[in-house]
Structure 1
Amino acid sequence: MDRSADDSSMRHLRTLLVSVAIVAAALSAPLLGRLLPEARTTPFRPPDAEHLLGTDALGKDVLGQLLIHAPTTFTVPALAAVVLAVLGSLLGVLLGLGPARMRSALLRAGDVVLIIPPIVLTLVIVLGFGATPVSIVIAVVLAGLIVFLRVISSATLQVAHSGYVEAAFGFGDTPLRIAVRDMLPQLIGIVIAETSLRFLAAIQLVAALSFLGFAAGIGNSWARTIRDNIAGFPLNPWATLAPGLALVLSVALIAFIVERAGNPEEEIT
């Protein structure tokens, strides 16, 4: 493996580590949130020495609620991204190794799904099966699966005629064995980058569902906090701005790292 390949792998690894770090921080945030005032007081109280960001519609500390609701904001999107990575990677490689006619037919059939906006497809599934974490994960996976398959199958075609792949077929190895043993290790950088992009899309989809009130089954999240507190914006803007800014900054950070990972000319300093 040459130096450029090593650099590319390191960039994609950094992308993965940033995403994992954000999820880990979100999971540990409630521990800090419990250190802040828990007693309820006046709703939409402006920031003061006791409540640094004021209080929300229920009179709870905004900063404390921001930390407590962090896991809900990222856990379901992260789970959906992991499921999509495993399913999309394996199916994408098998699709790339399969007959050209079958690949073309399946991808053309998948174009029908791409016509439907992801939020509409997600809403249909959630409304049909209920706003549970499982249904939301399934909806997010289906919304991103076709794109994932296209990327991985195209990448597979570029290396499918390599000597070691043809030798594996010659020895009688099954496509599944070749996919797992020979192909996926070569495509790990692309898989990480595409998974990070799907993670971003999942955060946005779940946030949209929460803001619209169709994700009650996953509990409170930053997007739902925005919806619940928007009526009190004139009294305490931070009850709405804090979760909104936290969501935007988290997404922007992941997007920044993904963008840098995709540009070999630029290094993260």
Structure 2
Amino acid sequence: MAMLGLVVFLIVLFFAISAPLFANYEEEAIKQNVYEKFAPPSSEHILGMDSYGRDLFARIIFGARLSLLISLSTVGASLVIGCLLGSLCAYYGGWLDAITMRIVDIFLALPMTLMAVTVVAALGTSTANLIIALTISMVPPFVRIVRSAVLQVKGSDYIEAALAYGTKDMRIILTHVLPNAIGPIIVQATLNLASVLLSVAALGFIGLGVPSPQPEWGTMLAESKAQMRYQPWQVIIPGIAIAVTVLSINLIGDGLRDALDPKLKN
């Protein structure tokens, strides 16, 4: 199942990266043509046209590019910040660990999407603000996971040997601690990627995501919900895109968890 998820995700990634080869962004994904609105799927427009006369296939593949870009940027930024804070808290402990963990607990008490809604409402709707909002909401889980993973390897013999050799703390963290605690961190990053993708779509659906006319799957759902009864493909197509992509990422995450968790190998 993990390999199936990987194949599906690679297909989505391929269309996202090579989207300009299949459609013109300005002419097909952005430009409105009122004479062709609600046109059903045909040989010329394989997924039909939306309520503004824009090609749905073009918007889906360019939406995949934007959704994955936001999701990967968010997970990457939160992973870097979470690794830094979590490893420092676990390595040094004391007041730094106590204060940081209490702040993390406060953030974890709020749902990720609600936290993102609050930040976006304060900063305004834009792609950059959406990434900032989701990164803020994603850092606390990474801090917890990294701290837990680092605590498991902190007392290992090779860490004691590096300390006895006089290696600097930051070098120990970067070259000895984090590489040996990378398993659960990778699994958490993969599973969080699916969560972020859903949050991007949810924020777009309620009007706090990527501003229109930029193609984004959640925004496309919001624009087409009024036509659900008479042009159902307007809603079904972006909904399937979200569901398939999130499912493929979750399958990859489950496979990585089974492969990297030593308890599951025994």
TM-score under structure 2 length normalisation = 0.84
- The 2-side partners of 1:18 and 1:187 are apart by 28
Choose 95-104 or 69-78, whichever is displaced more.
Answer: 95-104
CA contact (8 A) 2:210 2:216 kept: no
1:28 matched to 2:18: yes
The amino acid across from 1:224 in the alignment is T
State which of 73, 76, 91 in structure 1 corresponds to 2:67: 73
| Amino-acid identity (%) | 28
Contact 2:5–2:251 under 8 Å retained in 1: no
Does the 8 A contact of 2:82 with 2:146 survive in 1? yes
Distance in 2 of aligned mates of 1:47 and 1:33: 16
Q: Which residue of 1 is the match for residue 176 of structure 2?
A: 182
- Matched residue count: 254
Of stretches 233-242 and 151-160 in structure 1, the one that deviates more from structure 2 is 233-242
Who is 2:147 aligned against?
Answer: 153
Q: 2:219 aligns with which of 204, 218, 224?
A: 224
| Residue 115 of structure 2 is aligned to residue 121 of structure 1 | yes
Note the C-alpha offset of 1:34.
3.4
The one-letter code sitting in structure 2 at the alignment partner of 1:238 is: W
76-85 vs 64-73, which moves further? 64-73
Structure 2 counterpart of 1:147, which letter?
Answer: P
Q: Give CA-to-partner distance per residue, 1:70-105, whole Å, 9 cap, x none.
A: 211211111011111222122222221112553244
Deviation at 1:14, TM superposition (A): 11
CA RMSD of aligned residues (A): 2.8
For 1:184 and 1:16, locate their aligned partners in 2 and report how far apart those are by CA, in whole Å: 25
**Inter-partner Cα distance in structure 2 for 1:62 and 1:15:** 24
Q: What letter matches 2:219 in structure 1?
A: R
Distance 1:46 1:99 in 2: 61
> Structure 1 63/117 Cα, relative in aligned 2: closer, same or farther at 3 Å?
same
Of 243, 257, 264, the residue aligned with 1:262 is 257
Partner of 1:250 in structure 2? 245
Deviation per residue, 1:142-194 (Å, 9 max, x gap): 21211111111111111111112112222333322111111122122222211
What is the aligned counterpart of 1:239 among 231, 234, 240?
Answer: 234
1:5 — aligned with what?
A: none
Residue equivalent to 2:129: 135
Q: Distance in 2 between matches of 1:108 and 1:26?
A: 40
* Contact 2:6/2:249, CA 8 A, preserved across alignment: no
User: Could you say which residue in structure 2 is the equivalent of 1:167?
Assistant: 161
Find the aligned partners of 2:257 and 2:172 in 1 and give their Cα distance. 27
The separation in 1 between residues aligned to 2:75 and 2:8, in whole angstroms, is 14
Cα contact 1:54–1:236 (8 A) shared by 2: no
Distance 1:19 1:187, change over 3 A: farther
Quote the offset at 1:52 in angstroms: 2.5
Q: How many Å apart are 1:21 and its aligned residue?
A: 6.9
CA distance in 2, matches of 1:49, 1:260: 38
AA at the equivalent of 2:249? I
* Letter of the 1:252 counterpart: L
| Aligned residue type for 1:178 | I
Label 1:253 to 1:29 Cα distance change in 2 as closer, same or farther (>3 A).
Answer: same
Comparing 117-126 with 104-113, greater Cα deviation is found at 104-113
Q: 2:94 and 2:188 mapped to 1: Cα distance?
A: 23
Q: Is 1:103 the counterpart of 2:97 in the alignment?
A: yes
Q: Which runs of 5+ in 1 are unaligned?
A: 1-10
Within 2, Cα distance between the matches of 1:14 and 1:50?
30
Q: TM-score scaled to structure 1, two decimals? A: 0.83
Letter in 1 for 2:195: A
CA-to-aligned-CA distance 1:223-249 (integer Å, 9 cap, x gap): 111111121223321121111101110
